[in-house]
Amino acid sequence: MDDLWELKAAPLMAVLLPSGKGDMLFLGLCVLSFCYLISSIYSAYFHPLAKFPGPRLASFSRLPFAITAIRGKTYKWLDELHAQYGPVVRIAPGELTTISPGAWKDIYLKRPQLPKDPHSQTPPMNGADSLFTADGRTHTRMRRTFSNAFSDKALREQSQIIEYYVDLLIQRLRRDTRDPASREEGIDLAKYYGYAALDIVADLTYGESFHGLKDNNEHDWILGFFLGAKFGAIRNSLSYFYPLDRLFGLLFLRLTAKNRSRNWNHTSECVTKRLAADSAGIERSDFMTPVIGNINEGREKGITRNELNTNSLAIVIAGSQLPTVALATATYLLLKEPEKYRRLQQELRSSFTDEREISVASTRPLSYLAAVIDETIRIHHPTPIHLPRIIGPEGQRIDGQWIPGNTIIGMALQAAQTSSAYWEAPLSFCPERFLPPDHKWYESRFERDNKETFHPFSMGNRNCLGGKVSLSEAKLILARVLFSFDLDISSQTDKDWLDQKAYLVFEPQPVYVRLRERGTE
């Protein structure tokens, strides 16, 4: 009888128990699949975030988020999700985004401050954090060190440097527009804006420009920034997919090792030159002036030399790209809306009789100029990202809604600024919405706009320190160009210009414009 039982049981046991490596692999895959299925069901229906609306696939997988990030279209995806699901959306198993105006203060003014999501950060190349990546006491120490470099007093002192390069820009445009081909076909004004912005921020950081306006120098490591931003977006998206993140990280490091080494050597050399100039007694007011006396390797206060290198590079990248994107976008939008273009030109040409009167200080009171820049940034923010923070284990109420502990949540910046829930005609370029109510061009239909949604440089002690400098620079450049030239958009400019990819910042797109010097035919 026992023998008979063994004979009958043998085939069954052969099925249930793997006998070879292939069978073991198959069994392992089955177990993993079953575990993933259970995990997905839990995440979709029983997770603490299950009550929040969003795409079903995103409730148990980060794949939708990763795909849009790799394609450079996260901002458009978030726009669509919030239009469909409302102010709070679940975009991944453990992550939410919000566009609710009240969420700004609850997320970014919270004390103690909510930490950044480390998965959204690309590690510094030299191992030293910058203001963008540092957290806690390190961030507080760095911000205290740099705060005087971006104060109103510092901006007044730095204005002379900014105005010098804007003069160079106008001279360069005058020279190049005398070429018959340029007058007929147009020039890529975005490229010239980029030259000027890079020269300005390089001089303010390192004490010398990169000579873009003089030599067409599109410095290698600024061009390489966009490749790095793409790789960074892919790496950050894959950071949840072990071991793909490790494999991609190793591949990225190997492919870019030579360029990264050259870039960091150049950065270090620029900082060394600036420090040497100070030691030689050369007096100037720039971003480094209040920092130099606070270099301290002890890390208890001040800033280390490696941190100074990292921050200088971050400042140059941010300080060149933000004004460039804003100016290119403003030019495109103005030329697509002739009435707005004429209004701005009227304000400028009625406020000044000579271009030498136009300065950082003299452009500050111009209401329509400021409104054009604000509306440009609202519609097409240079960095259309969300700003993820991690809720503490105890949970927190965000704009009246309870958010479970350890949830990642961030403000979807671009979606918040273009949502029909908070803005009248949200996708229309209407600088009038930012004018004072007593201004002759103000339109009462914009009274319903909820401007508490509009914080383009974030808020709290992690807001953008250089925001005032970038805005002042953008206003001055736009004022000088529109005062000195009459502009027409060229047919070479892409009709879908605003439909761009964004990896940290929007990728630069050419804006071909025909320029005629004022008073000439």
Q: CB count, 10 Å around CB of 168?
A: 19
Name 16's Cβ contacts closer than 8 Å, sequence gap at least 6.
none
pLDDT at 222 over 70: no
Name 396's Cβ contacts closer than 8 Å, sequence gap at least 6.
106, 110, 402, 403, 405
Report pLDDT for 218.
60
Rounded to two decimals, the pTM is: 0.90
**32 pLDDT band (50/70/90 cuts)?**
confident
Sheet holding 88-92, edge to edge: 88-92, 95-98, 408-412, 386-390
Alpha carbon distance 262, 128 (integer Å): 17
Q: Which of 188, 86, 192 is nearest to 477 (CA)?
A: 192
Q: Which of 435, 437, 149 is nearest to 303 (CA)?
A: 149
345: enclosing H helix or E strand: helix 338-351
406: enclosing H helix or E strand: none
Q: For 57-517, CATH number?
A: 1.10.630.10
Report pLDDT for 370.
98
Alpha carbon distance 55, 89 (integer Å): 9
431-479: pLDDT as tens digits: 999 999 999 999 999 999 999 999 999 998 889 999 999 999 999 999 9
Contact of 87 with 99, CB cutoff 8 Å? yes
pLDDT at 232 over 50: yes
On the question of a cis peptide bond just before residue 243, with omega within 30 degrees of 0, the verdict is: yes
User: Which residues partner with 389 through β-bridges?
Assistant: 116, 409
Structure tokens belonging to residue 366: 């111009």
**9 pLDDT band (50/70/90 cuts)?**
very low
269-316: pLDDT as tens digits: 999 999 999 888 888 899 999 998 888 876 678 899 999 999 998 899
On the question of a cis peptide bond just before residue 436, with omega within 30 degrees of 0, the verdict is: no
pLDDT at 230 over 90: no
Q: How many CA atoms lie within 13 A of 18 on its CB side?
A: 11
425: left (phi over 0), alpha (psi -120 to 50) or beta: left
Instruction: Look at residue 202 and give its three-state secondary structure.
Output: helix
More confident residue, 30 or 203: 203
Contact of 351 with 40, CB cutoff 8 Å? no
More confident residue, 244 or 220: 244
Alpha carbon distance 194, 207 (integer Å): 18
Tokens 């540092």 belong to 134
Domain ranges of the chain: 57-517
Report pLDDT for 376.
98
Percent of all residues in the chain with a pLDDT value above 70, rounded to a whole number: 90
pLDDT at 235 over 90: no
468-492: pLDDT as tens digits: 999 999 999 999 999 999 999 999 9
Q: Where are the alpha helices (DSSP H) in 207-288?
A: 212-215, 220-238, 244-279
Percent of all residues in the chain with a pLDDT value above 90, rounded to a whole number: 63
343-356: pLDDT as tens digits: 999 999 999 999 99
257-271: pLDDT as tens digits: 777 777 788 889 999
pLDDT at 217 over 70: no
Q: Beta 95-98 vs 408-412: how paired, if at all? A: parallel
More confident residue, 93 or 266: 93
pLDDT at 249 over 80: no
